[in-house]
Structure 1
Amino acid sequence: MRNYKILWADDEIDLLKPHILFLNDKGYEVEPVNSGADALESLKEDDFDIVFLDENMPGISGLETLEQIKPLYPSLPVVMITKSEEEYIMEEAIGSQIADYLIKPINPNQILLSVKKILDNKRLVSQKTNMSYQQDFRNISMAFSENLDHNEWIEIYKKMVHWELKIDETEEKDMAEILNMQKEEANSEFSEFLIDNYEEWLNQPDIDRPLLSYQLMSREVFPLLKSDEKVFFFLIDNLRYDQWQLIEPMVSEYFHIENEVPFYSILPTTTAYARNAIFSGLMPDDMATRHKDIWVGEDKEEGKNLQEEEFLRRNMKRCGLEGKSMTYNKVIQKEQGKQVLNNINNLYKNDLNVVVYNFVDVLSHARTDLKMIRELAPDESAYRSLTQSWFMHSTLLEMLKILSEKDFKVVITTDHGTIRVNKPVKIVGDKNTNPNLRYKVGKNLNVDNPESVYIVRSPEDLRLPKPNVSSAYFFTKKDDFFAYPNNYNHYVNLYKDTFQHGGISMEEVIVPLIHLKPKK
């Protein structure tokens, strides 16, 4: 612990000598002064880590001194000490952004606690976090060797996200490398778990299985409509569970989390498959055969997510909800968000309002394409921070604030997550093979290391359409990505350390679904 310097201003400072000696013994250097004016002079002459201010001093009061300190030293923590318990003094002090508020008589341990809470908070939190993760590390690793079910994998992933966010808050991030290694091991085990069980989940509906993309509307949204509830359904494309955890505190200012239901995205974990499955209520093979007029396959150039509204309307009709009014709104640019926000009064009359936000997906692709974005988000922590900053200033948060005053059911979810890729896998395919880095579909596909890839020679087994008779699907696992032998080093350098989706990882597959209840 370094030697912190404390400035203590009190007109009865001599009576506080025992407290000062106590702090000296604990390793803190204290400079005592008798007035607010003296405190301001001391701050001009020396640097301090914290200031204690008595509120009721002759001449310049504690509050008046505080008002002069804050503009000059905005990051300097100030603790207000007072005999008064009057509420307006507390409010004035808190409004001036004090670090703590103590009421006399004070004892030495009370002062020490305040100092540690303010000055040693990060160090103590870091120590506690590192120690707690070390204790939990073995429990998590041992769980991998057990025969985990789909719910237990959700809990493992949530626990690892918890530690990732906690370690991210520590000063030195000492445990980050160990956690990353454990996450890699977890993703390796999770990939094998999914491969072992996924086909059965799709083809044996009576077995125990997780909530899957194509079941989301019929299980989580349509029952609300059938109960005559009005629903706002927000889908944030590409939103991972860790990103949700960062924006959840902002949402919780206005809503209670009524229910949190993480679900499993179908494969491939992309918009064309997972999001269309959500709105259509169908697996991709059924979309391709039952809705040939609106399904866009891999062999076509046009956009794969242009028919979501029509898929949803047909899904509602099939489920007996054709009498319910519905709007579908897609927000890619800020102006589109403003249009939806400005029109929100007209949306109240509808039974279901769907709003799709594409920002996070756009951000992940921009990080691949734009050097500036890659520099702004060089790692997972910065990538999460960009998502948090976007949400804080988004029209989505503005809409949620407005809806928190209304009697609507609000659901927030996503279609799939994303993972930062690291290890290239060489693949060979013909010119019609799709460009996605995490999965490939085509004829005559071959990889240099088949063990590292989930190879599906019979797409119908995974309820996937076959563009051609000999089409196969190849999925990457963990944090791998596909690269062609031609210009191999160039493409590896271009795409390594970028965020991609379409394959198999906890980050892509296990995604959040949240039911919100307004607090007011």
Structure 2
Amino acid sequence: MNNINILWVDDEIDLLKPHILFLEKKNYKVTTCQSGMEALEIIDEKPFDIVFLDENMPGLTGLETLSEIKEKKANLPIVMITKSEEEYIMEEAIGSKIADYLIKPVNPNQILLSLKKNLDLSRLVSEKTTSDYQQEFRKIAMDMAMVNSFEGWAEMYQRLIYWEIQLEDIEDIGMTEILESQKIEANQQFGKFIEKNYPKWFDGDKGPIMSHTLFKEKIIPELGDQPTILIVIDNLRYDQWKVFEPIISTYFKKQKEISYYSILPTATQYARNAIFSGLMPSDMNKLFPQFWKNDTDEGGKNLHEADFLNTQFKRLGLRDLKWEYHKITNLKSGKKLVDNFKSLKNNDLSVIVYNFVDMLSHSKTEMEVVKELASNDKAYRSLTLSWFKNSPLLEMIQQAQLGGFKLLITTDHGTINVKTPTKVIGDRDTSLNLRYKTGRSLTYEDRDVMAVKDPKAVHLPSINMSSSFIFAKDDKFLAYPNNFNHYVSYYKNTYQHGGISLEEMIIPFVVMSPK
């Protein structure tokens, strides 16, 4: 608090002597003057941390002085003090980005509170956040040992993400490291939980909402009396949704938010096709071989999402539903859809698959510059937020609000920053993904993966009679022994998906209505 310099500008400054003495006793340094012109001269000569500015002064008014000060010192906090409660003065002052607005007569404690809000806020928030997390840390540690349900794990993951985002803005490396260790521990326990329970989720109603049940259970019930847009942002993690949410909340209010589970493998060709078909991969392979491609097949694996969606609507008896499907894979196609957005009003449902986050995670692997920009989860969130603020996707959301659309937002799976290599050996037909493998005669470290010898047990297709699946747990990635060191250095600390982690499997589904 020491060395805080205040400039107080008021043409009746003598009447404020008790307030000034009060502040000086608390070690604030107060400089006073009686006009706007005088204030502008003093500001040129001496640095200040904050300005208290009377609105009603002869000569330059407070609002005029405010404007002049902001031109000179754009980031200097200014607290406007006025006798008037006229709305236009408040609006103009707030529009000029004042730090606070006080109405006379002010008492010393109001002044002190305003100072703390504007000058001590980051320190006070940091101390409070750290203190709150220290208490919550013990509770999370105890609760983690008790979690034994898919609902419990979704809630635990949400708690960890809440604290990760809270701690992001405070400069306490120790706290961040403690939280990181809790996330690692959580993923280790979650891996054991999935290994034990995942195969049981396909028996009746024992499991959570998953990729293949999302449409029937959650999306179809939302269709009705207003045009609806479903945006599937590929590869969007729960924490990335949480940093997008405040921007979207400017235009839409949230009606519902659930966490649902991506199927395994948590990879686009499996999870997103499951969303649109309403089927597990083994059923897609059996019923629609013309649309489904296995890992070893040539060609794009997600080229028939609209065809799959059509089969699901027919199966659900929704033949009269008017719908469209759009896939956005680059800036040009995004802008084109923005330009034609009004035509979507004629549909009951418009499905938009947006591929940016997926492209970002892949380019992080391929491009050194993106590796630098997204070196950890905090940076990855920041990069995706920056993209979102300037993307055609945000323009679509703004247009959806103006058009009175209901908005559904979801994803197909998340992604995890992989840090620990684990060796795997397979034949030349083994799939290429770093977080899961399918093939014959796989050799691997048992403790690092969940192995499924019989793919039918988890509703996955068998490429041949003896093929199996393995899924990497927590932050592991599967590396071949040949050229091991080069492989590891290339892929370590990149974002991958396909395996078992909270980040990949527990993902958001959100229903919003226009404001």
Q: TM-score, normalised by structure 1?
A: 0.96
Taking the aligned partners of 1:494 and 1:104, their CA distance within structure 2 comes to 64
Q: Deviations over 1:36-88 (max 9, x none)?
A: 22221221112111111111122222111111111221111111111111111
Structure-1 residue corresponding to 2:89:
89
Range moving further from structure 2, 338-347 or 357-366: 338-347
Match of 2:212 among 200, 211, 214: 214
Give the residue type in structure 1 aligned to 2:245: E
Match of 2:150 in 1: 150
Match for 1:497 among 490, 493, 502? 493
Deviation at 1:9, TM superposition (A): 1.2
CA distances 1:280-313 after superposition (whole Å, capped 9, x unpaired): 0000100111111111111112111111111111
Q: Distance in 1 between matches of 2:89 and 2:221?
A: 51
Shift of 1:378: 2.0
User: Which shows bigger deviation, 129-138 or 227-236?
Assistant: 227-236
Q: Is the 8 A contact 1:123 1:171 kept in 2?
A: no
2:253 match: secondary structure: strand
Equivalences for residues 111-510 of structure 1 within 5 A: 111-202=111-202, 204-207=203-206, 209-225=207-223, 227=224, 230-447=227-444, 449-510=445-506
| One-letter amino acid of the structure 1 residue matched with residue 244 of structure 2 | I
Residues 1:32 and 2:32 aligned together: yes
Superposed CA deviations along residues 380-426 of structure 1, whole A, max 9, x for unmatched, are: 11211121122222222222222223343321100000111111111
Distance in 2 between the 1:115 and 1:408 partners?
A: 43
**Equivalent residues of 2:129, 2:166 under 8 A apart:** yes
Corresponding letter in the other structure for 1:484: Y
Contact preservation (8 Å) 1:255, 1:404: yes
Q: What SS does structure 2 have at the residue aligned with 1:256?
A: strand
Partner Cα separation in structure 2 for residue 206 and residue 159 of structure 1: 26
| Amino acid across the alignment from 1:92 | E
Task: For 2:472, give the aligned amino acid.
Answer: T
Letter in 2 for 1:175: M
Cα distance between partner residues in 1 of 2:259 and 2:286: 29
Give yes or no for contact 2:80–2:100 (8 Å, CA) kept in 1: yes
Number of corresponding residues: 515
Q: CA deviation at 1:147?
A: 4.3
- Go from structure 1 to structure 2 and tell me whether the alpha carbon gap of 1:302 and 1:242 turns closer, same or farther (over 3 Å shift): same
8 Å CA contact 2:342–2:403 kept in 1: the answer is no
Match of 1:107 in 2: 107
Structure 2 unaligned blocks of 5 or more: none
Give me the whole-angstrom Cα distance separating, in 1, the residues matched to 2:151 and 2:54: 55
Instruction: Give the AA of the match of 2:328.
Output: V
* Partner amino acid, structure 2, of 1:101: Y
Q: Is the 8 A contact 2:345 2:403 kept in 1?
A: no
CA RMSD of aligned residues (A): 1.4
Deviates more, 1:176-185 or 1:35-44: 35-44
Secondary structure at the aligned position of 2:512 is classed as strand
**Counterpart-to-counterpart distance in 1, 2:160 and 2:2:** 32
Contact 1:421 1:497 in 2 (8 A): yes
Q: Percent identity?
A: 53
Q: For the residues of structure 2 that align with 1:25 and 1:363, how far apart are their CA atoms?
A: 54
Alpha-carbon shift at residue 325 of structure 1 (Å): 2.0
Farther off after superposition, 401-410 or 133-142: 401-410
Partner Cα distance (1:215, 1:261) in 2 = 14
Q: Could you say what secondary structure the match of 2:402 adopts? A: coil
Report the 3-state secondary structure (helix = DSSP H, G, I; strand = E; otherwise coil) of the residue aligned with 2:40: helix
Aligned partners of 1:407 and 1:159: how far apart in 2?
33
The Cα offsets for residues 142-185 of structure 1, whole Å up to 9 and x where unpaired, read as: 11211421111111111111101100122345411100000100
Q: Distance in 1 between matches of 2:245 and 2:208?
A: 23
Return structure 1 stretches of 4+ with deviation > 6 angstroms: none
Query: How far apart, in 2, do the equivalents of 1:5 and 1:105 lie?
Result: 23
CA deviations over 1:317-373 (Å, ceiling 9, x no partner): 111112222211001111111111122222211222110000011111111111111
Would the alpha carbon gap of residues 17 and 66 (structure 1) be closer, same or farther in structure 2, given more than 3 Å must change?
same
Q: Give the match's secondary structure for 2:421.
A: strand
What code does the residue aligned with 2:221 have?
Answer: P
Q: Within 5 Å, which residues of 2 pair with 1:10-25?
A: 10-25=10-25
**1:486, CA displacement in angstroms?**
1.7
Distance 2:511 2:102 in 1: 40
Contact 2:472 2:499 in 1 (8 A): yes
Output the TM-score relative to the length of structure 2. 0.97
- For 2:368 and 2:447, the matched residues in 1 are separated by 33
Report Cα offsets for 1:423-471 as digits up to 9, x if no partner: 1111111222222111111112112x31121111111111111112111
> Secondary structure at 2:412's aligned position in 1?
coil
Amino acid at match of 2:381: R
The code of the aligned residue for 1:252 comes to S
User: Secondary structure of 2:477's partner?
Assistant: strand
Change (3 A) 1:302 1:54: same
AA aligned to 1:171 is E
* SS class of match (1:512): strand
> Deviation string for 1:117-153 (max 9, x for gaps)?
0111111000000100111111111112114211111
The question of whether the paired residues in 2 share the 8 Å contact of 1:8 and 1:33 is answered with yes
